[in-house]
A and B are shown apart, each in its own frame.
Chain A
Amino acid sequence: MHLNSNLIFRNLAEGTFLLDKTGRITTCNAAASAITGYDEAEIAGKPFCVIDDCQDDSITHSNELDEALKKKKCVAEGWKLRKDGTRYWAEISYSPLFDDSEGLAGYCALLRDITEQKNKQFDLLESEQRYRLMVEQVGDYGIFMLDTKGCIVSWNEGARRIKGYSAEDVIGKYFAIFYPEEDILNGKPAWELKIARSTGKYEEEGWRLRKDGSRFWANVVITAVYDAEGRLSGFGKVTRDLTERKMNEQALRESSDKYKQLAQELSLANSELSSVNRELEQFTAIVSHDLKEPVRTVRSFLYLMDQHVDQQKFDLLKPSIGKGIRAAQRMHELIDSLLHYSQVSKIGLQHQQVNVEDMIAEAIQNLNDAVEQSGAQIRVDSGVPFIYGDRVQLVQLFQNLLGNALKFTNGREPEVAVKSWVEDGGVRFVVEDNGIGISPENLDKIFEIFRRLHFASQYPGNGVGLAVCKKVVERHRGKIWAESARGKGASFHIMLPQI
């Protein structure tokens, strides 16, 4: 079969039109008719715009033809109408045709129906647009994009609401404007982008700044965004304002702290009450035992004297009177001591700086008579200049300890040492003597009130001194204990807190 150009033209699968140089259709092939719905006879001689459903016969000229002439080729796309009125998206490629003497002979227009392809593109575009619209309108989340350097390129409604900036305020600015000054100084914004770049994502909660300078507690997610070739194209940043939640948490914590403190105060008050209660019980026991005894003795001797008088045994009166007086005297002393002991616990405890050397010197001064009578040697070696506490009570403490050291001597000249040093964050005092010592089973008992180890005829006293010492030390949140080896004297140890 002999191939000529006409045959090729007719059989081309592409819709092909030949136009004269004014733009009117000369001819078209079967493929073109299949697309447009017009057969060749219907449209020959009509302007090419007939495929746009253009009824005006005079419009033959078009920009596309001009451009094709100028650039030798022009490709255009657009909606066209078929003869039956249905729409299709056409891609038309125009080429100018020249004769042998390079004069314009006409145009060739190749028509392709790319509606299907185009629809897909439209769908995609539409979905992207919808998506963008949606993002733009989200109010509870600040969603915006950063370029690779961290400059803001998009801004949504949520970002405007949360941060207070309009899109015009922030587009093009570096995103560090949302960070508090200390974060900027620490290079935090750049660091966050670095993390997002290397791991794909950065997430945290932290304080951020609004436009008005106020802070809000933000949940922030920065996501690295890559293009189709896998190159970093920027960052997506989603910010939520969690200030309210943060405040609630804080309020909860504060109220829980408050309750804890309240519980602590209650437990403290409770333990104070129990301690007062114990003291009250102890007081009852003291009144029923120790104070009743001398009263009973006085009463007994009065009855006895009554009998003596009845029996006319006047010579027996005198010794009974003497014993009654001594019992009354003991009663008096017991009451005084008990009052003194209860004062130690009642009076408000002072918290003052007390010079240790002065304190011990005052205690020794108060014992001046006993020191002179016994010929005691008292060595003071204080390694701690100051302690904090109640000066009057602390002087009483050392006066009682030193008084005991001078008393329980079995006739030997007392040698007493008072030392102090810092130990385990507290202050340790030791009062050491060369006296009769204390047997091990009595080391704890000696601190009980009215507890006495000796008969009054041997070592006078009323059993209150060390009980007072214990009370003073305990009120100063300290500990007191005694150590002794038989015949080698005794040492009293006190640990007090340094402040």
Chain B
Amino acid sequence: MKIFRLAIVENDEDERFFMSEAFRVSGKFEILGEFGNGDQLTEWLDGSPGELPELILSDLNMPGKNGYDIMDELKTTYPDIAVFATSTSSVVSTREKCIRAGARDFIAKPDIFIAYDTFVSELYQLACRYLGG
């Protein structure tokens, strides 16, 4: 089974905690880094980490560089990293807007953040489809 290298960008600490817990428990992802916004992510990437993530899961609304800024920036700086956007929004136009901005896809967050397991398997399937299992 393929294990994907992942970086998470989410400003809410509690949310991020439950999110990364679910990823770890699944055993399908290796989390290389957790960041509070795009600024922190960029800083880490620019510091030449030993290994680059294959995919980045990014929230949309964040202080400083937000999800759209990340998609926009990585499109040119790290075109090989697949960005997946996530948000509480379930509005159709949000997904379209993200894909236009450079995201591979958009997954809506679960109704409550203690229920991330379905979300994790959904992202795994998408990752396999886009990056090859």
Hey, which bits of chain A sit against chain B, CB under 8 A? 284-285, 288-290, 292-293, 296-297, 299-301, 303-304, 307, 323, 450-456
A450 to B88, CA, bound (A): 15
Partner of B114, one of A285, A290, A307, A454: A307
Chain B interfacial residues counted at CB < 8 A? 24
Closest-CB distance, A467 to chain B (whole angstroms): 14
Known: A289-B61, A453-B64. A297 touches B89 (CB 8 A): no
Chain B contacts for A453, CB-based, 8 A: 63-64
Closest-CB distance, A439 to chain B (whole angstroms): 10
Is A323 a contact partner of B14 (Cβ separation < 8 A)? Answer: yes
Name 12 A/B residue pairs within 8 A (Cβ), A-sorted.
Answer: A285-B89, A288-B88, A289-B61, A289-B89, A290-B61, A300-B114, A303-B115, A304-B114, A307-B114, A323-B14, A454-B64, A456-B63
Known: A288-B88, A303-B112. A293 touches B61 (CB 8 A): yes
A452 to B63, CA, bound (A): 4
Chain A contacts for B60, CB-based, 8 A: 289
A454 to B36, CA, bound (A): 10
Known: A299-B111, A452-B64. A292 touches B89 (CB 8 A): yes
Chain B contacts for A292, CB-based, 8 A: 88-89
Chain B contacts for A455, CB-based, 8 A: 11, 36-37, 63-64
A276 to B94, CA, bound (A): 20
Interface string of B60-97 (1 = CB under 8 A from A): 11011010000000000000000000011111001000
A454 to B61, CA, bound (A): 12
Q: Which residue of B lies closest to A456 (CB)?
A: B63
B113: CB under 8 A from chain A? yes
Chain B contacts for A284, CB-based, 8 A: 91
Chain A contacts for B88, CB-based, 8 A: 288-289, 292-293, 296
Is A285 a contact partner of B12 (Cβ separation < 8 A)? Answer: no
Known: A293-B88, A455-B11. A300 touches B112 (CB 8 A): yes
Is A288 a contact partner of B112 (Cβ separation < 8 A)? Answer: no
A307 to B88, CA, bound (A): 23
Chain A contacts for B111, CB-based, 8 A: 296, 299
Given contacts A289-B89, A297-B113, 17 further A-B contacts (CB under 8 A): A288-B94, A289-B87, A293-B12, A293-B88, A296-B88, A296-B109, A296-B113, A300-B114, A303-B114, A303-B115, A307-B114, A323-B14, A451-B66, A452-B63, A453-B64, A454-B63, A455-B37
Closest-CB distance, A87 to chain B (whole angstroms): 109
Closest 9 CB pairs of A and B: A452-B63, A300-B112, A288-B89, A292-B88, A300-B113, A303-B112, A288-B91, A453-B64, A289-B89
